[in-house]
């Protein structure tokens, strides 16, 4: 992030209502309350030692605009995300799709450094 903080994001599919998310973001309930037992277990297994889920900082709600596209020049798609933060910051993330499972080499049309996040 521009201010030097570190943000890590991940995806683990689950279901939470808008009301449940609102209660957490407004401080009425702990963050862990919107995650399933399996998700909380996954977090404990992979999070850095000493950082509990409820100690994390909530940066939302964040408006996320997302588009997927496969340019003619490439053999795989890209995902473009624009994150609009409450404080006016914007982040543009351009990510190549996963490499095909049977390929042993990276395609030459997307350098490994192309999966970066840039603040705008």
32-57 confidence digits (pLDDT tens): 999 999 999 999 998 888 989 999 88
Q: Give me the domain span that covers residue 44.
A: 18-55
How many domains does one find in the chain? 2
71 and 106 in a single domain? The answer is yes
pTM of the model: 0.53
* pLDDT of 3 above 50: yes
67 and 114 in a single domain? The answer is yes
34-43 burial, b for 16+ CB within 10 Å, e for fewer? bbeeeeeeeb
Contact 53, 32 (CB under 8 A): yes
């Amino acid at each position: 992030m521009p201010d030097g903080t570190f943000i890590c994001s991940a995806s683990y599919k689950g279901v939470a209502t808008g009301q449940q998310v609102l209660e957490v973001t407004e401080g009425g309930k702990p963050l862990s309350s919107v995650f399933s037992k399996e998700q909380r277990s996954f977090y404990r297994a992979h999070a850095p030692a000493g950082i509990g889920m409820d100690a994390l900082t909530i940066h939302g709600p964040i408006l996320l605009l997302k588009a997927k596209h496969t340019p003619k020049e490439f053999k795989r798609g890209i995902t473009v995300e624009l994150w609009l933060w409450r404080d006016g910051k914007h982040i543009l993330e351009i990510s190549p799709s996963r490499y095909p499972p049977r390929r042993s080499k990276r395609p030459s049309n997307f350098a490994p450094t192309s999966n970066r996040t840039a603040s705008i």
